[in-house]
Amino acid sequence: MVIVIFAVLTLFVVQTFLPSSIRYLSGGPGTGKRLLTALGPRDEQPQLTHIGERAQRALTNMQEALPVFLTLALLHVFRNAQDLHAIHGAWIFFLARLVYVPAYLSGVIGVRSVVWGISWVGLVIMLALLV
């Protein structure tokens, strides 16, 4: 279970950098100026693109789901239960969240919602095994 926790936390860290990376490194004219702004106090930031806004919303969604996942995963760790079903539920959550980011960024209607639902299936599996 600990490996899955680290995988989810790594994904969270990557997602944390994504909106800013898109803001300052997105293509088009003025990339040099945007990089100088990123290195400074960033009092005035470049506008986020639609993809950058989606990356920000995906990060916000991960911030909402992460406490639920960590609580369930740590409860399994503290119980010292090596239940394969709980570990599978955690991996389902991780893999769905891994797919969720590009699904959200792509903007394809319906895909994001389906992947989000799959991630919650993983959480429900983890929860059901605790009760």
Domain count, the chain: 1
Q: For residue 87, what are the domain limits? A: 2-128
Amino acid in position 75: L
- What pLDDT is attached to residue 21? 85
| 53 vs 66: CA distance, rounded Å | 20
Are 115 and 61 spatial neighbours (Cβ–Cβ below 8 Å)? no
Confidence at residue 80, expressed as pLDDT on a 0 to 100 scale: 79
Note the pLDDT tens digit of each residue in 1-23: 999 999 999 999 999 999 988 88
Instruction: Tell the burial category of 2 from Cβ atoms under 10 Å away from its Cβ (0-12, 13-18, 19+).
Output: exposed
**What is the pLDDT at residue 28?**
61
pLDDT, position 7: 98
- What is the model's pLDDT at position 48? 83
State the Cα–Cα distance between residues 20 and 49, nearest whole angstrom.
11
Tokens read off for 4: 């899955």
User: Which alpha helices (H) appear in the chain, and where do they start and end?
Assistant: 2-25, 31-39, 50-78, 84-106, 111-128
* Predicted local confidence at residue 59, as pLDDT: 97
Which CATH number goes with the domain that contains 41? 1.20.120.550
pLDDT of residue 29: 66
pLDDT in tens, 65-123: 999 999 999 999 998 777 889 999 999 999 999 999 999 999 899 999 999 999 999 99
Residue range 27-78, pLDDT digits in tens: 666 777 777 776 777 677 777 889 999 999 999 999 999 999 999 999 999 9
